[in-house]
Structure 1
Amino acid sequence: MSEENVTPVETATEVMNNSADVVNSGVDWINNNQGLIIEYGLNIAAAIATLVIGMIIAGMISKTFHRILTKRELDPTIVEFVSHMVKYVIVAFVVIAALGRIGVQTTSFIAILGAAGLAVGLALQGSLSNFASGVLIVILRPFKSGEYIEAAGISGSVESVQIFATTLVTPDNKFVVVPNSAILGGNIINYSRKPTRRIDLVIGVSYQADLAKTKAVLESVVKANSLVLKDPGVTVAVAELADSSVNFVVRPWVNGGDYWPVRFELMEAIKNALDEAGIEIPFPQMDVHVDK
C-alpha cells in the first residue's frame, strides 16, 4: 500500500499496536526478572538504610567524643577539631559500606581513592604538612585557646587552632594566621602555661655608687610593689662590671597576668628612687686623656 493511501485511522492503530507491544515486552521482562528486581531493590533499600543509620551513629559518636573531651576540660577548639574528624572518618566508612551493598566493587573504589589521594597529596604537600601538624598540635597540646605564646617569630594570644593554620592576636590587636607546620617546626614559647613569671631587669649604676646602698634601694622599691610575690623572693645582685656601669640584676616574681604592669611600674619607680638617693645611672661614655 502506498503512503498516499494510508489513512489517519490506520496510522493511529499502528501506533497503538506498537505501544502495546512495548508494554507487553516490559511486562514480560518484569515477569521474567522478578527475582533480580527484588534482589536489587533489597540491596538499594539496605544501602539507604546503611547510609541513614550510619549517619545517625556517626553523629552520636561525634557528640559522645565532644562530651567526653569537654568534661576533660580540653580547649574548645581542639574539642571541635577532634569530634568533627571522628565524624568524617565514620561517614567515609559508611559510604564505602553502602556502595558495597549495591554491588560496587569497594576494593577497586578504595584503590581509585588511594591513587587519587596520592596525586592530590603530591600536589598539596604543604597543605598536608599543615594538616598533619595541626593534628599533632591537637594531640601534644603545647598551647590552647587564650594562651599567650611565641612561635614562628610571632607573639600573640591563641584565638583558634584550625585544620591548616593557627590564628593569633598580637598585643597591638593584629590578627595573624600562622601555618601549623611553621609553628610545629620551630620553638614554641608558652608564656601562659605556668601561673607565675619572673621579671628580669638589668639596672646599671655608676662605678662611684655605694653598692650596698644601691642594693638596699632596689630591694625597697621592689618590696613596695604590692603585686610582687613574696614567695619566691626577689633577687637583687651585682651581675656584671660593664664598660661604663656596674650592672645589677633585679628579678622579682609576679603572677602571669601582672607581668607587664609590674615591669613598667618598677622601671619608673627604680629611676625615681635612684635619683632621690643620689645614685647615678650612667650612659656610655669614654674618657680621653691628653698627653702634653
Structure 2
Amino acid sequence: MDEKLGQELAHAQEIYKMVVEFFVNYSFQILGALLIFMIGLLVARKVSAVIFNLCQKKELDITLSRFIASASKIVVMVLVGIIALGKIGISITPFLAAVGALSLGAGLAVQGLLSNYGAGLNIIMTRPFVVGDTISVQGVSGQVKEVQLAFTVLTNEDGVQITIPNRHIVGEIIHNSFEYTLAELSIGIAYSEDPDQAIRLISNSLSDLEGVTDDKRPQVGIENFGDHGVNIGIRLWLPTQQYFGLLYEANQRIYAALKTNDVVIPFPQQEVRILNESIKTSGSGSGSPNS
C-alpha cells in the first residue's frame, strides 16, 4: 500500500515539475500570445466596424455590407491566430494539413449545408434581391427581411417568417416586385352605363389611397366584356407590409364611388324560356298511340 502511494506521489511530483518547467520556459511566450490575441480581437472588431461604416457611406446593400465586414474580421482573426501560435512555437503546417483532411470528410457529410453557403454567397455577390424587396420563389412569397449565408428569411403583413434554404433559391425563377405587391381587381358595370365615367370615378377614388405614388399610379380600364356587363380591370401596386389592409380599403372605395354615383353593378342572371308550341306538339304526338 505504501509502495503504491509512493508511486502516485512520484507521478504527481513529475507532473508538477513538468507544469512548473513549462510555465517557467514558456510563460512569456504564452503571455505574449494572449496579448497578441486580445489586441488582434480588438483590431478585428475595429476594422470590421470601419469597413461596415464605409460600405454604408458608399450606399452598398446592407447584406453585402455585413458580409464584407464579417469577412474582413475573419481574415484579421486568422492572421492574428497564426502570429499567436508562432509566438509559442507551434507550427501551423501540420495543423493546416489536418484541417485539409478533415475538410474533405466533413464536406461529404455536410454537402447540403455547404451548398446552402455557396448559394448564399452567390446571392450576396450577384444581388438578385436585397433586404426590403418582395420576392416570390418556390411557391412562397414575402418581403426579404434578412439574407444569411445559409438561408433567406421572408416576412409578410401578418408577421409570419418564412425561412428558405439558399440552395432552393439559386437557379430558380424569382419574381421580384421590390417593396410592392401587385393587386389585380375587377368589377362589372351594366352595359347601359358609361364606362368612361366608371373609370374616372374609380381612378379618383384611389388617387389618395395610402401607399399610391406618382410613379406607380393605379391602372384602370376595360378588361373584357362579360355576359352580364362590362368588366373594369384595376391594377394597383400596394406596399407589401400593408397589402391586405389597403386592398380591402381599395375595394370599399371603389364600391362606394360607384354606388354614390348610381352606377349599376349587375349581378348574374339566367333567362329561362318555355316554348309552349313545342310542348303542345310533343304532347299531342305522345298521346296519339294511346288513342
In the superposition, the TM-score normalised over structure 2's length comes to 0.66
Give 1:267's match in structure 2, choosing from 237, 251, 262.
Answer: 251
Find the counterpart in structure 2 of residue 23 from structure 1.
none
- CA 1:112/1:272 → structure 2, altered by over 3 Å: closer, same or farther? same
CA contact (8 A) 1:149 1:157 kept: yes
Take 2:215 and 2:40, find their aligned partners in 1: how far apart are those partners?
57
Structure 1, unaligned runs of 5 or more: 1-25, 31-36
**Aligned partner letter, 1:216:** Q
Change (3 A) 1:60 1:138: same
CA contact (8 A) 1:159 1:167 kept: yes
Provide the identity percentage: 31
Residue 89 in 1 paired to residue 85 in 2?
A: no
Compared with structure 1, are the counterparts of its residues 234 and 215 closer, same or farther at alpha carbon in structure 2 (3 Å cutoff)? Answer: farther
Q: Return the offset for 1:118.
A: 1.9
**Conservation of the 8 A alpha-carbon contact between 2:32 and 2:87:** yes
Report the RMSD for the aligned CA atoms in angstroms.
Answer: 4.0
Structure 2 equivalent of residue 222 of structure 1: 203
- Aligned equivalent of 2:46, options 43, 60, 67: 60
1:130 CA displacement: 1.6
**In structure 2, what is the Cα distance between the partners aligned to 1:203 and 1:114?**
65
Q: Deviations over 1:143-181 (max 9, x none)?
A: 444444333433333332233222232222223322222
Is residue 70 from structure 1 mapped to residue 56 from structure 2 by the alignment? Answer: yes
Amino acid at match of 1:168: L
* Shift in alpha-carbon separation, 1:261–1:54, aligned structure 2, 3 A: closer
Q: Aligned runs of 1:118-133 on 2, under 5 Å?
A: 118-133=104-119
1:1-292 matches, cutoff 5 A: 51-74=37-60, 76=62, 78-100=64-86, 102-193=88-179, 199-206=183-190, 209-210=191-192, 213-225=194-206, 226-227=208-209, 235-242=219-226, 245-251=229-235, 262-275=246-259, 277-283=262-268, 292=278
The 3 A distance-change label for structure 1 pair 263 and 53 is closer
- 2:77 partner SS: helix
TM-score (norm: length of structure 1):
0.65
253 and 145 in structure 1: CA distance in 2 versus 1, 3 angstrom threshold = closer
Distance change in 2, residues 1:115/1:72 (3 Å): same
Q: Where do 5+ consecutive residues of structure 2 fail to align?
A: 1-16, 279-291
Q: Quick one: structure 1 residues 273 and 147, their matched pair in 2 at CA, closer, same or farther if it must change by over 3 Å?
A: same
Q: Residue 282 of structure 2 corresponds to which residue in structure 1?
A: none
After superposition, the Cα gap between the structure-2 partners of 1:251 and 1:188, relative to the gap in structure 1 and judged at 3 Å, is same
1:116-153 alpha-carbon deviations (Å, 9 max, x no partner):
11211111111112222222333333444444433343
Match of 1:156, SS state, is: strand
User: CA 1:146/1:119 → structure 2, altered by over 3 Å: closer, same or farther?
Assistant: same
What's the CA shift string for 1:240-277, capped at 9, x where partnerless? 34566543323466777776555433323333454553
Change (3 A) 1:193 1:237: closer
Residue in structure 2 matched with residue 7 of structure 1 by the alignment: none
Pair 1:91–1:148, CA change in 2 (3 A): same
8 A Cα contact 2:205 2:254, kept in partner: no
* Structure 1 residues 82 and 224: alpha-carbon distance in aligned structure 2, compared to 1, 3 A threshold: same
Aligned to 1:184, what secondary structure does the other structure show?
Answer: coil
Q: 1:104 to 1:260 in 2, by over 3 A?
A: same
Letter in 2 for 1:129: S
Give distance in 1, aligned partners of 2:80 and 2:213.
58
Q: Output the CA distance in 2 between the equivalents of 1:256 and 1:76.
A: 20
Question: Match of 1:210, as an amino acid?
Answer: S
